[in-house]
């Protein structure tokens, strides 16, 4: 199986590189080799490489910057997936795409006013330009009629690159006190786990006798996050709690104060409730979904091992 992978310098794309090599021949152009904002070069690359499967974790992910860079975010997050999906449809090949909790407005609650997790069937109503561009990408893929899997995930981090985990570890070594938002709830999900379950699903596809039937039965939109939920302050506190015994902190952990989002204004509005219901994913693929604290431990152990 020949797999075209975008975004291999990003968190999820990079985590996919190694496990994917077990499954086939990987072509992973960098942005310099395939700029997704150039729609014709996407068509040209697919024609040149003739993949059997395309995996698209590449995205414009700067949520705040997207507020003022609307056209580019839309081009990369909506138009590029649309072109990829049209090519996948024309060539009768599969597409695996990643999307986000930020397609929702974060207000879903039960009668008592408690936040409840979003289902795949809930209406999306993004609060920010990033979410709007990602939702447009999801809808374009669905409308194309190509064989697809769209995995909506949340709060992605990894042991490499810039993310909430690396920011917290850097700040922990600089500051004695931190003020972190405590009224946005979601599930921190590691790029490594996302990569591993994506590969396990590709393996299920490869094991199927009839691939077209597999896509008919299993294709579609899924929520795919770690189990459990937390807020950013609790996530930061758990990072400190687990990092200290691994010697990832150079001094005692800072005191972490919770603050409301209103006290930390950002260009883009973020949903209060980012919790996604994973039961469709777990029913369909029968893969275990670890609790977010366990995924954090795996990533921190990896970080401690390499540092
Ligand atoms: N990060 C999160 O918290 C989060 C949460 C929910 C969902 N998601 C979704 O999960 C997926 C993976 O996210 P991630 O955290 O792995 O993203 P990431 O680390 O920000 O990586 C984004 C990747 O996209 C590439 N890219 C950006 N613009 C490009 C362009 N014009 N042409 C080609 N490549 C381009 C980047 O290349 P460069 O290295 O050259 O910039 C990078 O490889 C995305 O679909 C994202 O929307 C992420």
Instruction: Write out pLDDT tens, residues 31-47.
Output: 999 999 999 999 999 99
Of 56, 78, 259, 254, give the one whose Cα is nearest residue 168.
Answer: 254
| Residue nearest atom 4 of ligand 1, based on CA coordinates | 156
Active site residue 264: no
How many of the other CB atoms lie within 10 Å of CB of 69?
A: 16
Distance 10 CA to ligand 1 centre (A): 5
* Averaged pLDDT of the chain: 96
Catalytic residue among 130, 157, 222, 264: 130
pLDDT per residue as tens digits for the range 76-92: 999 999 999 999 999 99
Is-contact 39 87, C-beta < 8 A?
no
| Per-residue pLDDT at 107 exceeds 80 | yes
Residue-range domains of the chain with CATH: 2-306 (3.40.50.720)
Is-contact 217 134, C-beta < 8 A?
no
How many of the other CB atoms lie within 10 Å of CB of 300?
A: 20
Please report the pLDDT score of residue 305 as a whole number. 81
Strand blocks (E) in the chain: 2-5, 25-27, 53-56, 94-100, 147-153, 156-157, 177-181, 185-186, 189-190, 220-223, 230-231, 255-259
Pocket of ligand 1 (CB under 6 A): 6-7, 9-13, 31, 34-37, 57-61, 76, 98, 100-101, 134, 153-156, 161, 191
pLDDT per residue as tens digits for the range 283-299: 999 999 999 999 999 99
Residue 176 pLDDT class (50, 70, 90 cuts): very high
Handedness of CA 57, 59, 61, 67 (dihedral sign): negative
Handedness of CA 127, 123, 279, 206 (dihedral sign): negative
Is-contact 102 274, C-beta < 8 A?
yes
Is-contact 43 66, C-beta < 8 A?
no
Residue 226 tokens read as 């770690």
d(Cα 130, Cα 137) in Å, to the nearest integer? 11
Our mutation pick for probing the ligand 1 site, out of 4, 57, 153, counting the most ligand atoms within 8 A of Cβ, is 57
Distance 233 CA to ligand 1 centre (A): 24
Please report the pLDDT score of residue 307 as a whole number. 64
């Amino acid at each position: 199986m020949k797999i075209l992978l975008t975004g291999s310098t990003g968190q999820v794309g990079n985590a996919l590189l190694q496990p994917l090599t077990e499954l086939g021949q990987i072509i992973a152009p960098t942005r310099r080799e395939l700029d997704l904002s150039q729609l014709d070069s996407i068509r040209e690359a697919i024609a040149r490489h003739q993949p059997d499967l395309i995996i698209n974790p590449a995205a414009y992910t700067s949520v705040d910057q997207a507020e003022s860079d609307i056209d580019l975010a839309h081009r990369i997050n909506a138009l590029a997936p649309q072109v990829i999906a049209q090519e996948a449809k024309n060539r009768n090949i599969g597409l695996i795409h990643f999307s986000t909790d930020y397609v929702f407005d974060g207000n879903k609650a039960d009668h008592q006013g408690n936040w409840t997790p979003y289902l795949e069937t809930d209406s999306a109503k993004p609060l920010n330009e990033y979410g709007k561009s990602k939702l447009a990408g999801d809808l374009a893929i669905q409308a194309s009629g190509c064989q697809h899997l769209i995995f909506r995930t949340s709060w992605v981090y990894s042991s490499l690159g810039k993310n909430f985990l690396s920011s917290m570890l850097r700040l922990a070594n600089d500051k004695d006190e931190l003020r972190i938002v405590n009224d946005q709830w979601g599930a921190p999900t590691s790029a490594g786990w996302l990569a591993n379950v994506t590969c396990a699903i590709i393996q299920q596809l490869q094991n199927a006798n009839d691939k077209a039937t597999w896509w008919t039965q299993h294709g579609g939109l899924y929520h795919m996050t770690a189990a459990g939920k937390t807020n950013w302050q609790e996530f930061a506190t758990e990072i400190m709690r687990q990092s200290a015994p691994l010697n990832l902190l150079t001094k005692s952990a800072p005191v972490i104060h919770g603050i409301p989002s209103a006290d930390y204004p950002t260009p883009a509005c973020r949903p209060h409730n980012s919790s996604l219901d994973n039961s469709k994913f777990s029913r369909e693929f029968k893969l275990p979904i670890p609790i977010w604290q366990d995924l954090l431990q795996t990533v921190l152990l990896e970080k401690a091992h390499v540092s």
